[in-house]
Amino acid sequence: MTGRVFRIQIWACLVVSLAAGSLSAAPGPTEAEVDDAIVRALRYLAQHQQPAGGWNVDAFGGEATSATSLAVMSFLAAGHTPGEGPYGEAINRGVQFVIDRQEQNGLLVSRRGHGPFYDHGISTLMLAEVSGMVPERQAVQVRKSLEKAIRLILASQLIPKPANQRGGWRYNPVSADSDLSVTAWQLLALRAAKDIGCDVPAENIDLAVDYVKRCSPPNGRGFAYQPGTSPTTVLTGTGLLALQVCGQEDCAEVHRAAEYLALRPLRYREPWYFYGVYYTSVGMYKRGGDDWKNARPLLFQELMNNQLPDGSWQSGNQNEAPWGRIYCTAMAVLALSVEYEYLPIYQR
């Protein structure tokens, strides 16, 4: 046997072993190291809150409801609450910033950048997560704003679309097609709102589940941006979590997504890495067991290796670079804090 053939056989055995989960993963960062990274990141976010209460998206040239909502959820995910502790007032101001910018039709958006329904889904999710935590003076406002936002999500899902696009959402409330990226944010928002008693009909969830499953190729390997396109690691994490929050934890597409992610771990310079690390971390954590045991070291160490001295993160790819450090830092915190389970959406 030549040395080259021997090495090929050893590599093949290694791949099979990894796929079967028989090789133990490196331990990754300790809980104390993760805690420290989150503390430094929150300090950075607090230092960059704007006077009006919002946080900036670089591509918009100013504050955005999406960045503000991600920052607010970062504090909540780390165990901070509105009106209390070192970040209580910052959280209150961020929530108020989002509420004050809701449009008449319910849309939660402050700047008309790329895809206002991204802003809307993220901000609706934040209002659902913070509902019940805010001081009494904000509680009524939050609930009213949340219910208007949910009604808009439900109405926009029913805009007439081609058969393979039905059930999802895209960039605008009147979009005539759908994509998995925008759809996932709306599903997280609907699930969080339903959990606190908002009216979210089962038939809307069923329509969305059908759409998400159509984004999985016929062979069931991973998830793609839209039906008929090629799967990616980032969107596989997205599809994984989107189906889990719809009660589809045991469907074939979810199991195969976890297998796909085990063989194709996220890397820092991958397009839309920070989007992907959030969805993948939460999705694999919800899977639990060996799936999380093996995924955690890779996901968390990659994040820890790229945190900057000031506590922030910046994009390693051109896709996310225009969104700036607030977005990247908030998404990193939301991934790293999943084991705390302070946000209801994280709970298994």
pLDDT at 113: 66
Q: Name the more confident of 13 and 65.
A: 65
The domains of the chain are located at 27-346
Contact predicate 241/283, CB 8 Å: yes
- 77 exposure class (CB count in 10 Å sphere: 0-12, 13-18, 19+): buried
% of the chain at pLDDT higher than 90 = 86
**6 or 229, higher pLDDT:** 229
Q: How many residues does the chain have?
A: 348
Residue 99 half-sphere exposure, CB side, CA atoms within 13 Å?
23
Convert the pLDDT of each residue in 259-274 to its tens digit.
999 999 999 999 999 9
Phi and psi based region of residue 232 (left: phi greater than 0; alpha: psi -120 to 50; beta: remaining): beta
Q: pLDDT tens digits for 132-169?
A: 899 888 999 999 999 999 999 999 999 999 999 999 99
For residues 232-240, give the mean pLDDT. 98
Rounded distance between C-alpha atoms, residue 348 and residue 331, angstroms: 20
pLDDT value at residue 83 = 94
Query: Residue 20 has which token pair?
Result: 């079967």
In whole angstroms, what is the distance from residue 21 CA to residue 23 CA? 6
Average pLDDT in the 317-346 region? 96
> pLDDT tens across 274-314, in order?
999 999 999 999 999 999 999 999 999 999 999 999 999 99
Q: What is the rounded average pLDDT for all residues in the chain?
A: 92
Q: Confidence class of residue 111 from pLDDT cuts 50, 70 and 90? A: confident
Token pair belonging to 17: 């072993």
Which amino acid is present at 100?
A: D
Span 322-330, mean pLDDT? 96
Arithmetic mean of pLDDT, 191-215: 97
Q: What pLDDT is stored for residue 137 in this prediction?
A: 83
Cβ count near 286 (within 10 Å)? 20
| Residues 28-51: tens digit of each pLDDT | 999 999 999 999 999 999 999 999
Query: How far from the centroid of its chain's Cα atoms is residue 102's Cα?
Result: 22
pLDDT beyond 90 at 219: no
Residue 102 dihedral angles phi and psi, to the nearest 5°: -75, 135
* pLDDT at 104 > cutoff 60: yes
Residue 9's pLDDT band (cuts 50, 70, 90): very low
Phi, psi of 56 (to 5 degrees): -85, 150
CA-to-CA distance for 88 and 134, rounded, in angstroms?
10
Whole-number Cα distances in Å, 286 to 85, 95, 290, 291, 347: 29, 27, 11, 9, 7
Q: How far is CA 157 from the centre of its chain?
A: 20
Q: What's the CA gap between 287 and 255, in Å, rounded?
A: 9
- What topology does CATH give the domain 27-346? Glycosyltransferase (1.50.10)
